[in-house]
Structure 1
Amino acid sequence: MRTFLLPLLLLLASLSPLAQAERLRIVSDEWAPYFYQEDGEFKGVDYDVVSEVFTRLGVQVDWELMPWKRCLAMVHEGQVDGVLDIFKMPGRDGYLIYPNEPLSQVEFVLYQASARPHRIEHIDDLAGLTVGTSPGYTYGGAFSDSPLFRREPAPTQQANFGKLALGRIDLLLTDRRVGRFLRRQMALEQRVEELPLVINQQPQFLALARKPGREALAAAFSEELQRFRQEPAYAALQARYDLGPHFPVTVEQQESSTH
């Protein structure tokens, strides 16, 4: 135990007084079940995990939900201290610091109306169709750059599911857990079905704005997150959101898409 705690204590000791005393302002968009708001209360499996880790580190956080494009702009301009559930991408290291430990794994899959089925086994099968997407998201070059089909953004994930149910789009693309959560929440389980094709998959992270002391904070966050994952409380948190068993994720995933 002493061997494990010593590196963590050294990391915490290396945090500047400013980093320990300040309140972090962290943003993300509505991304249930990872992070969302219900009856004025923030919830979500990644939100709960990050909140617990920062509580253990003695770091206070102010949370905000806003459109994803605005999240990216504000963290790039240094107006906020971090962003929740973001992918690693080339070009972001200049203004973001990532803990080594990812929070969760995203799998982008397609959803269709059960009454209007399509046979989709690979991306080329989307030819001539309209696929609902989210502003500011990219889903990998094979999907985002294809000229074979139309991509139609909607302001929210819920709006995309509504458009799909009404026949205004042919399919929608979102994370598997997000899709299953919203399909159940919107009582669409009998009207909307998930397709097996995985368009892209990525580990998602908490990322901190690149400021003095943040490298040490990111390292301490990773250490404490790894420790938390070994505890029954972590498994209980996953089960609370009905996400199934936790599968460890690695950072050696492809990095061509972004949340």
Structure 2
Amino acid sequence: MPVLFKLLTAVFFSCLSLAAHGEKLRIVTEPWAPYVYEDNGTMAGLDYETTVIVFQRLGVEVQWQFLPWKRCLAMLDQGHADGALDIFHSQERDALLLYPSEPLSEVEFVLFYANERPHPAATLDDLRGLTVGVSPGYLYGDAFSEANTFQREPAPSHEANFGKLMLGRVDMVVTDRRVGHHVLKALGLEGKVSQASVVVSRQQQFLAVRRGAGMDLLVQRFAAELKRFKQEPAYATLSAKYGRMHEQTAPIPAPEHAVEQQESSAR
């Protein structure tokens, strides 16, 4: 029997087993606009809509749940969720999770500061003595996580982090570039907050699932279908839809003394 036929058969019966028991794949995630979020009661976002289309093509039904990211990780650890959307790969999670070979997207962690209290950091060394707002459960890369020259202060949401920034309770906020611009527009803070030039880290985002019977074959099939979908006009249209959103939110004027953007992991 050809290997490809065996693979497709295994995936088919894995999905059929879920359907036979009236079960859905339980996927958890945290609102992370514009990748995944809720818009007037409807889930949306580039990675969410992409994942929905891929699973529809695979014949897999999904039950979605929004939770704080730290809770999402706890649900995975306790077996109360089957997978997580927009999770970063880390070796510590390999024993629990399976990752498709094809990522959904890539994030770029950057730092934001209030224009009234400018901190145009060009390197992580420029954070010395500062307090940076972070999100619990996120992985920002070893260089940021292991640095001992600045303080990290968690907040329950990205909106709360930027609220603390405007109140002067933190000096800077770290988050993905596109997420940050989206939140600033939603909060009406455009023109009041600027982005520092330092890039903390870049990381690919995945749809990862807990290890279990048939799951290894499912992630292989998911990766193949995701890669195929990315080559289609439908994905280009979807990407352009959220790309236009980024273009609308991206320009945040920086003070004249801010240095130029330079090139330089994860939830």
- TM-score (ref. length: structure 1): 0.88
Change in Cα spacing, 1:16 to 1:79, as seen in structure 2 (3 Å) is farther
3-state DSSP of counterpart to 1:228: helix
Label 1:9 to 1:225 Cα distance change in 2 as closer, same or farther (>3 A): farther
Residue 160 of structure 2 is matched in structure 1 by: 159
**Deviation by residue 1:189-224 (Cα, 9 ceiling, x = unmatched):** 110111221011111100011110111110110111
Task: Name the residue aligned to 1:196.
Answer: 197
Query: Which deviates more, 29-38 or 59-68?
Result: 29-38
| Distance of aligned partners of 1:155 and 1:8 in 2 relative to their CA distance in 1, 3 Å threshold | farther
After superposing on structure 2, the runs of 4+ consecutive aligned residues of structure 1 that deviate more than 4 Å are 6-10
Could you tell me how far 1:56 is from its partner in structure 2? Answer: 0.8
Q: Distance in 2 between matches of 1:49 and 1:8?
A: 24
Map Cα deviations across residues 205-257 of structure 1 (whole Å, 9 max, x no partner).
Answer: 00011110111110110111111011111011111113669xxxxxxxxxxx3
Contact 1:143 1:199 in 2 (8 A): yes
Task: Give the match for residue 10 of structure 2.
Answer: 14
Determine helix, strand or coil for the equivalent of 1:118: coil
Partners of 1:9 and 1:18 in 2: CA distance: 14
In the alignment, the residues of structure 1 paired with residue 213 and residue 190 of structure 2 have an alpha-carbon distance, to the nearest angstrom, of 48
Alpha-carbon distance in 1 for matches of 2:4, 2:266: 31
Give, in whole Å, the separation in 2 of the partners of 1:91 and 1:180.
30
Task: Name the amino acid aligned to 1:54.
Answer: F
TM-score (normalizing by structure 2)? 0.86
Per the alignment, residue 55 of structure 1 pairs with 56
- SS for the counterpart of 1:190 is coil
- Counterpart position of 1:27: 28
* Contact 2:119–2:196 (Cα < 8 Å) also in 1: no
Indicate the structure with greater helix content.
2
Aligned length: 243
Give the match for residue 86 of structure 1.
87
Give the 3-state SS of the residue equivalent to 1:121 in structure 2: coil
> Residue 266 of structure 2 corresponds to which residue in structure 1?
258
Unaligned runs of 5+ in 1: 1-5, 246-256
2:102 maps to 101
**Which stretch shifts more, 184-193 or 171-180?**
184-193
Describe how 1:145-224 pairs up with structure 2 within 5 A.
Answer: 145-224=146-225
RMSD, matched Cα: 1.9
Give 1:8 shift.
Answer: 7.0
What is the SS of the residue equivalent to 1:182? helix
Give the SS at the match of 2:207: strand
Percent identity at matched positions? 51
The aligned counterpart of 2:70 is: 69
CA contact (8 A) 2:165 2:172 kept: yes
The reply to whether residue 231 of structure 1 matches residue 232 of structure 2 is: yes
How many Å apart are 1:36 and its aligned residue?
1.2
The answer for unaligned runs of 5 or more in structure 2 is 248-264
The 1:60–1:98 alpha-carbon spacing in structure 2 relative to 1, beyond 3 Å, is: same
